[in-house]
């Protein structure tokens, strides 16, 4: 299976909005903007041994964009999966010559500032562990975004340490928030090359394999499973300041 899985490379089909598909597993408000489904065609892609259905719901409400993934097991055996988002955001007033291009700020689900411990990073799509965990100076809740921030690819905040990651401009004014209390991992990433004017704030239901992992799919960190006919709904929100 390629880096980041197969769903991102698969064609999605538009469907009409069916509130019944969300059941009682979603606590989002009813969007008042355009709402649509894109449906992953049924079947089992190469190298993935399960039959499933994947639907993605996008909607808007006030100053927020809402996204829900609905994964359903269509097979007659237990299904194992992980899924994650990859939203990217332009850095306000980006200047490649600036030392600091903006900031990340971290919160828990109640909106309290938190100072996460970063223990791993991605390299060539696989997870590596820092020899010494990375902590923010003086347990601060903000992290500057510099040209060297992503010198080792993506930074991974694991173990549900944060539920909200905000993007701040160079004056530390909030631009937006990515809100996802369900995320076990947040990936922070930008291409490690000069002149990159954007960053990604990625909520993940799962995490990439460690570089030396050789186990079964059931042994993966943050594995999720569904019995026959069961569904899983995963939600995140992008809130504009």
What is the per-residue pLDDT across 141-182, written as a single tens digit (0 to 9) for each? 999 999 889 887 889 999 999 999 999 999 999 999 999 999
How many domains, in total, are found in the chain? 2
pLDDT at 159: 93
Is 215 part of any domain? no
Cα three-residue angle 212-82-227, rounded to 5 degrees = 120
Rg (CA), the chain: 18
- Poorest-confidence range of 28-37, 53-62, 66-75, 164-173? 28-37
Return d(Cα 226, Cα 17) in angstroms, integer: 24
Where residue 123 sits, what CATH number does that domain have? 2.70.98.10
C-alpha neighbours within 13 Å on the C-beta side of residue 147 = 9
Range of the domain at 129: 88-205
Q: Which residues contact 131 (CB under 8 A, 6 or more apart)?
A: none
Is 137 part of any domain? yes
Predicted confidence (pLDDT) per residue in 196-232, tens digit? 999 999 999 988 888 888 888 778 888 999 999 999 9
Is 69 part of any domain? yes
- φ, ψ for residue 9 (rounded to 5)? -100, 10
Together in a domain, 107 and 76:
no
Together in a domain, 98 and 117:
yes
Is 217 part of any domain? no
Is 99 part of any domain? yes
Return d(Cα 168, Cα 149) in angstroms, integer: 15
* More confidently predicted of 25 and 53: 53
pLDDT at 37: 53
Place of tokens 């990604």: 200
Together in a domain, 149 and 42:
no
Predicted confidence (pLDDT) per residue in 3-47, tens digit? 666 777 676 666 665 555 554 444 444 444 444 455 444 445 556
pLDDT surpassing 70 at residue 61: yes
pLDDT at 32: 46
Is 150 part of any domain? yes
Together in a domain, 201 and 96:
yes
Together in a domain, 32 and 60:
yes
Return d(Cα 29, Cα 14) in angstroms, integer: 22
Together in a domain, 67 and 152:
no
CB atoms within 10 A of CB 228: 11
Average pLDDT over residues 118-139: 84
Place of tokens 């069961």: 230
CA distances from 26 to 31, 54, 57, 84 (A): 12, 16, 12, 17
By three-state DSSP, how is residue 208 classified?
coil
On average, the pLDDT of the chain sits at 84
- φ, ψ for residue 7 (rounded to 5)? -60, -35
By three-state DSSP, how is residue 218 classified?
helix
pLDDT at 27: 41
pLDDT surpassing 90 at residue 78: yes
**Six-digit token pair at 139?**
């347990």
Kindly indicate the confidence band of residue 239, based on its pLDDT and cuts at 50, 70 and 90.
very high
Is 147 part of any domain? yes
pTM of the predicted protein model:
0.85
SS percent in the chain: helix, strand, coil, step 5: 5, 45, 50
pLDDT at 30: 44
């Amino acid at each position: 299976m390629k880096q980041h899985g197969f769903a991102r490379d698969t064609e999605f089909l538009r469907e009409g909005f069916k509130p019944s598909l969300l059941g009682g597993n979603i606590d989002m408000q009813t969007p008042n903007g355009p709402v649509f489904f894109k449906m992953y065609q049924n079947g089992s892609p190469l190298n993935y041994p399960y039959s499933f259905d994947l639907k993605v719901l996008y909607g808007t409400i006030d100053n927020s964009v809402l996204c829900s993934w609905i994964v359903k097991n269509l097979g007659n055996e237990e299904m194992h999966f992980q899924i994650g988002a990859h939203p990217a955001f332009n850095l306000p007033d980006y200047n490649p010559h600036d030392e600091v291009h903006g900031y990340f700020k971290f919160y828990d689900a109640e909106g309290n500032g938190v100072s996460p411990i970063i223990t791993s990073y991605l390299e060539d799509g696989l997870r590596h562990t820092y020899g010494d965990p990375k902590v923010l100076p003086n347990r601060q809740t903000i992290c500057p975004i510099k040209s060297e921030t992503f010198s080792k690819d993506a930074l991974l905040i694991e173990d549900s340490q944060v539920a909200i990651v905000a993007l701040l401009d160079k004056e530390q004014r909030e631009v937006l928030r990515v809100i996802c209390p369900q995320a076990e991992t947040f990936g922070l990433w930008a291409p490690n090359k000069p002149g990159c004017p954007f960053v990604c704030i990625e909520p993940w239901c799962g995490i990439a394999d460690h570089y030396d992992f050789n186990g079964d799919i059931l042994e993966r960190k943050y594995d999720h499973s569904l019995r026959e006919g069961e569904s899983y709904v995963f939600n995140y929100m992008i809130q504009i300041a």
